[in-house]
């Protein structure tokens, strides 16, 4: 017989679309807003509507963006070295940007090739990437796709594109995480670390 009023139940149900939010935390979130932060709840509602309706993709690199081109694609200094880093998601792009080490441009796939899910080259904008590769000033493409089956398949496909357009292609190193303890690293990673060993 325990039940919420319709509007509270709708809010709890809607909160559960958020990743990592189960029924318990959805209820806690709903009550927290209703009890002490209705203003914040309204702001979140408005921010959601605005972002869902207005955030699109950069026409060049496909990252999330509400203008035609993102701030990286419009920054001439990021095109100087002619390097494009291919990532699977905007979150991966943010992680790389936060290192502050990479000064080139990106191409954000927003997914990986997955024939079973009906995700083909067109869905990842690989025709657009091919266009970039055939343009002037692209010297190297760095693959920073996930080390998963789908990430690997996508990396192989893009490497082929690079060969066809005679653009140098590389892939970020796989190995044991810096600061990681060997005994806790999985076998596949350890094998990769051995086969990828460098003179010391």
Q: Which residues make up the interface to Zn ion (CB under 5 A)? A: 58, 60-61, 70, 73
Residue 116 touches its own copies, criterion: CB under 8 A: no
Stretch binding its own copies (CB under 8 A), from 60-68, 118-126, 165-173, 185-193: 60-68
Half-sphere exposure of 184 (CA within 13 A, CB side): 5
CB of 167 within 8 A of CB of 133? yes
Between 18 and 37, how does the x/- string for binding to its own copies read (CB under 8 A)?
xxx----x-xxxxxxxxx-x
Q: What is the DSSP-derived secondary structure letter of residue 60?
A: T
3-state percent breakdown (helix, strand, coil) of the chain, nearest 5 = 50, 10, 40
Contact pick of 66, 117, 127, 160 for its own copies (by CB under 8 A): 66
Residue 148 touches its own copies, criterion: CB under 8 A: no
Please state, in angstroms and rounded to a whole number, the distance separating the CA atoms of residues 185 and 180. 7
Please state, in angstroms and rounded to a whole number, the distance separating the CA atoms of residues 60 and 148. 26
Could you tell me the smallest distance in angstroms from the CB atom of residue 13 to its own copies? 8
149 binds, among its own copies, Zn ion, none (CB under 5 to 8 A by kind): none
73 binds, among Zn ion, its own copies, none (CB under 5 to 8 A by kind): Zn ion
Please give the C-alpha separations between residue 149 and each of 20, 92, 141, 145, 199, in angstroms, as whole numbers. 24, 17, 20, 10, 29
Residue 120 touches its own copies, criterion: CB under 8 A: no
Please state, in angstroms and rounded to a whole number, the distance separating the CA atoms of residues 124 and 158. 11
Residues 156 to 185 in contact with its own copies, rule: CB under 8 A:
none
Residue 43 touches its own copies, criterion: CB under 8 A: yes
- Contact footprint for its own copies (CB under 8 A): 1-8, 10-11, 13-15, 17-20, 25, 27-35, 37-38, 40-55, 64-67, 70-71, 89-91, 94, 97-98, 100, 110-111
């Amino acid at each position: 017989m325990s039940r919420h009023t319709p509007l509270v139940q709708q809010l709890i149900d809607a909160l559960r679309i958020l990743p990592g939010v189960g029924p318990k935390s959805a209820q806690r979130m709903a009550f927290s807003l209703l009890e002490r932060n209705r203003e914040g709840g309204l702001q979140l509602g408005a921010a959601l509507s605005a972002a869902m309706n207005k955030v699109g993709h950069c026409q060049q690199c496909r990252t999330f963006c509400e203008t035609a081109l993102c701030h990286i694609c419009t920054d001439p200094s990021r095109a100087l070295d002619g390097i494009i880093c291919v990532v699977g998601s905007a979150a991966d792009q943010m992680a790389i940007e936060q290192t502050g080490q990479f000064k080139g441009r990106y191409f954000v796939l927003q997914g990986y090739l997955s024939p079973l899910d009906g995700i083909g080259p067109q869905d990842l904008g690989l025709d657009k990437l091919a266009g970039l590769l055939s343009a002037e000033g692209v010297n190297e493409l760095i693959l920073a796709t996930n080390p998963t089956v789908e990430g690997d398949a996508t990396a192989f496909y893009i490497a082929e594109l690079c060969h066809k357009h005679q653009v140098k292609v590389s892939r970020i190193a796989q190995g044991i995480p810096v600061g990681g303890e060997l005994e806790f690293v999985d076998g596949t990673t350890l094998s990769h670390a051995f086969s990828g060993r460098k003179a010391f």
